[in-house]
Amino acid sequence: MRNAAVTALIALQKKFRVEAPTDRVSQQDYYHEMLASRFIVSPFGFGELCWRDFESILCGSVLVKPDMSHVETWPDMFVAGETYVPVKWDFSDLEVACAPLQHDEAARAKMAKTALNKLLNAHTVEAFLERVDYTMREAGIG
């Protein structure tokens, strides 16, 4: 999946400032690049979820990822058009999918903030206790 993403990103370099790194960088440089990015593309790796998904959200960028509608997570971090930009699995629609937010800074910032708030709100004591209670009831324990 990574090769398709890199190919799609390289194709956009003529129109946009795009970083499509192919070499390893230090952790410091990695986070510096993420903090400076408006969008971060996160292809599937050994599965659908990746640390990069959450790092991009914590760094204030919009997450761009292959459509996750087939996956159920808690918290539901993958709400198309609300917390991330879904693209086709082959990244063939990358430019079209990102274009509306590329030219609308307020909408881009709103999506990034919505994702961040959803992530942070799920990591409160109250959210944890609610989730444990739900899980125990679903398991017939509580």
In which band, very low, low, confident or very high, does the pLDDT at 1 lie, cut at 50, 70 and 90?
confident
pLDDT at 20: 78
pLDDT at 59: 97
Domains of the chain: 2-138 (3.40.50.2000)
Identity of the amino acid at 134: Y
The answer on pLDDT for 142 being more than 80 is no
According to DSSP, the residues that pair with 63 across neighbouring strands are 40, 84
Average pLDDT over residues 68-84: 95
Lowest mean pLDDT among 18-22, 52-56, 138-142: 18-22
Average pLDDT over residues 135-141: 94
Identity of the amino acid at 87: V
Q: What is the dihedral of CA 102, 36, 73, 123, to 10 degrees?
A: -130
**Positive or negative, the Cα torsion across 99, 118, 79, 21?**
positive
